[in-house]
């Protein structure tokens, strides 16, 4: 289920990011994979990316590259727009020329957070920050290109590697006795591994269609899908779960996790108070569901323990 047939040529972009690294781990040796990092495929240069696609003509493009620095984007809107919208548009246009499938990722931050209850794919968008606006522009440009595409909106991504809330909390937890964490923003932490696996499941379901009856024309399954872990929490709830589940990774510290309102933690970019997404469309269309975020967190923590044991075999783990 996790592999594509050998005949599929897969181009992975952003291969060193959280999601890109998980795709590499899943796909290396299992399909004809070209995995390019930022050094090899720079998204601020759309023409360079066009050339890569023209040369390779991949069956599937997995675009895991993105400008994800939400606060920094406020002061670099042009670069964020190039990486999150202009180059994904170029990818979609090139793929549409020969019938390639573009798999792209977007964000819960396309919403303004004002809804009570979980967001549906066709709810009105209203991003509060530059990052969300550029990701939304990317979604629209990909759809306008008219080719086959899957856009998976995900949220609060974490992994045992890369830059993310889980690793930041573990570092701060080792340094401090008290952490103040925002408790009035609701969302679903989602592991990069769960996203990569779910993507492969969807592609497995589509395999016949990519070759068969729908190969020639943009099809009914192209479009936007929500793809986040099950359940929901706040940043405070996520932080508390990390501290509870990682006591052995905190070098003996047991920091207090104190809830605060977002107003007490001002950031350059505004964030939605509710960005919980409804994943029903993904389940109905493809029969795919992601695990609960607590389960995904547990799996990442197991990996962190294994990584630590490898680095330092003398460490006692439980
Ligand atoms: N992270 C989240 O919390 C979150 C939430 C919702 C949605 N998403 C979406 O999920 C997808 C995967 O995100 P992620 O968490 O895996 O992000 P990530 O860990 O930040 O990885 C993004 C990758 O894009 C690369 N990149 C950045 N600027 C680039 C440029 N100018 N040219 C080429 N590559 C560039 C980065 O390279 P370097 O490492 O070299 O900078 C990195 O490898 C993205 O579409 C993101 O918008 C993420």
Residue 6, pLDDT score? 45
Residue 318, pLDDT score? 45
Out of 139, 157, 190, give the residue to mutate to test ligand 1, the one with the largest number of ligand atoms within 8 Å of its CB. Answer: 157
| Mean of the per-residue pLDDT values of the chain | 92
Residue 214, pLDDT score? 55
Residue 3, pLDDT score? 46
In this model, does residue 210 exceed pLDDT 70? no
Residue 29, pLDDT score? 87
Mean pLDDT in residue range 96-120: 96
Distance, C-alpha 71 to centroid of its chain: 17
**Which of 273, 195, 226 shows the shortest CA–CA distance to 119?**
226
In which element (H, E) is residue 106 found? Answer: strand 101-107
Please indicate whether residue 18, judged by its CB atom, sits closer than 6 Å to ligand 1: yes
- What lies within 8 Å, CB to CB, of 159 at 6+ separation is 18, 19, 21, 22, 166, 191, 192, 193, 300
Residue 211, pLDDT score? 60
Atom 30 of ligand 1 has which residue's CA nearest to it? 43
Mean pLDDT in residue range 221-232: 97
Residue 100, pLDDT score? 94
Give 262's DSSP letter. Answer: G
Task: For 30-74, give the DSSP string.
Answer: TSEEEEE-TTTS-TT-HHHHHHHHHHH--SEEEE------TTGGG
Residue 253, pLDDT score? 87
Ligand 1 centroid–CA 15 distance in Å is 9
Residue 36, pLDDT score? 97
Please indicate whether residue 241, judged by its CB atom, sits closer than 6 Å to ligand 1: no
The Cα–Cα gap between 95 and 59 comes to: 9
Segment 2-43, tens digit of pLDDT = 445 445 899 999 999 999 999 999 999 888 999 999 999 999
pTM comes to 0.94
Please indicate whether residue 132, judged by its CB atom, sits closer than 6 Å to ligand 1: no
Which of helix, strand or coil describes residue 85? helix
In this model, does residue 229 exceed pLDDT 50? yes
Ligand 1 centroid–CA 13 distance in Å is 10
In this model, does residue 217 exceed pLDDT 50? no
Mean pLDDT in residue range 138-150: 96
């Amino acid at each position: 289920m996790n592999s594509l047939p050998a005949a599929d040529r897969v181009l992975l972009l952003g291969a060193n990011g959280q999601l890109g690294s998980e795709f590499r781990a899943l796909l290396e040796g299992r399909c004809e994979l070209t995995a390019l990092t930022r050094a090899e495929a720079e998204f601020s240069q759309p023409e360079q990316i066009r050339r890569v696609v023209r040369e390779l003509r991949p069956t599937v493009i997995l675009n895991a590259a993105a400008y994800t620095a939400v606060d920094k984007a406020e002061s670099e809107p042009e670069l964020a727009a190039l990486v999150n919208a202009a180059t994904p548009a170029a990818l979609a246009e090139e793929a549409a020329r020969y019938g390639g499938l573009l798999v792209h990722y977007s964000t819960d931050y396309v919403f303004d957070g004002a809804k009570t209850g979980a967001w549906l794919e066709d709810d009105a968008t209203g991003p509060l920050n530059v990052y969300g606006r550029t990701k939304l522009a990317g979604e629209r440009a990909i759809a306008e290109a008219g080719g086959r595409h899957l856009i998976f909106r995900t949220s609060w991504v974490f992994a045992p590697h890369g830059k993310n809330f889980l690793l930041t909390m573990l570092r701060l937890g080792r340094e401090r006795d008290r952490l103040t964490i925002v408790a009035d923003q609701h969302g679903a932490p989602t592991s990069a591994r769960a996203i990569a696996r779910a993507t492969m499941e969807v592609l497995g379901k589509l395999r016949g269609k990519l070759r068969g009856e729908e190969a020639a024309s943009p099809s009914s399954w192209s479009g936007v899908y929500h793809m986040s872990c099950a359940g929901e929490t706040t940043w405070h709830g996520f932080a508390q779960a990390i501290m509870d589940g990682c006591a052995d990774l905190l070098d003996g510290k047991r920091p207090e996790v104190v809830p605060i309102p977002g107003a007490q933690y001002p950031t350059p970019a505004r964030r939605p108070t509710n960005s919980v997404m409804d994943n029903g469309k993904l389940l109905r269309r493809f029969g795919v569901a992601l695990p609960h975020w607590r389960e995904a967190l547990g799996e990442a923590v197991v990996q962190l323990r294994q990584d630590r044991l490898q680095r330092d075999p003398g460490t006692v783990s439980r």
